[in-house]
Amino acid sequence: MDRSIYDFASQDTWRIFRIMAEFVESFETMSRIGKAVTIFGSARTKPSSIYYKKAVQTAHLLAKQKFAVITGGGPGIMEAANRGAKKAGGISVGLNIHLPAEQKPNPYQTHPIHFHYFFCRKVCFVKYASAFILFPGGFGTLDEFFEAITLMQTDRIDRFPLVLVGKEYWKGMNKWIKTTMVKNAMISMEDPDLFRILDDPEEIVDYVHQYCSATGRC
């Protein structure tokens, strides 16, 4: 037997235990945080940005409503959300990922968890959230948005508040979804109702709170 093939197979097999360890560690911590909201957005957002300030305020209000705040643990919008939650005395979770660039853990996490694998981290974003709030971001933010909306559309998870923050930023994508995708019957007419676009932090938190109270899923 070719030794290189054996080594490769052995390495892949042992990798399973590292994956299991990430799930065990994260599940153990996350299962104790209670109701929570996951907040996404660009790591490149500066503290001077209106969206950074809105993320701080939104997370602060969520923490006052006894929601834990979950982010990716990095800078930008993630830092802003963790900052707002911690400032309010709430639970501020950071699901950190090891990346070569743009991912330095922010100092506002009360519950930092570290991941090597993206897919383990993504499970925690969804599994323990009662709502998703997405501020302007890039490919990573879009990835999380479309994954969440796909899981709801296909009934793989319960439907919950999915909020895009920033009407000006998201209007192009929103129009494309409602015209091109619906027009070509790639999605159903009612599928765009799976998400809302809001701007005001108080309105966002009120929507999440009312939805959770009405459904009893939080």
Cα-flanking dihedrals φ and ψ of residue 115, to 5°? Answer: -125, 150
As a whole number of angstroms, the distance between CA 140 and CA 40 comes to: 9
Give the pLDDT band of residue 214 (cuts 50, 70, 90).
confident
pLDDT interval class at 218 (50, 70, 90): confident
84-87-92-95 Cα dihedral, nearest 10 degrees? 60
Sorted by where each starts, the structural domains of the chain and their CATH numbers stand as 3-215 (3.40.50.450)
pLDDT at 1: 43
The pLDDT-based confidence of 213 (bands split at 50, 70, 90) is confident
Check: pTM over 0.85? Answer yes or no: yes
What is the pLDDT, as a whole number, of residue 11?
75
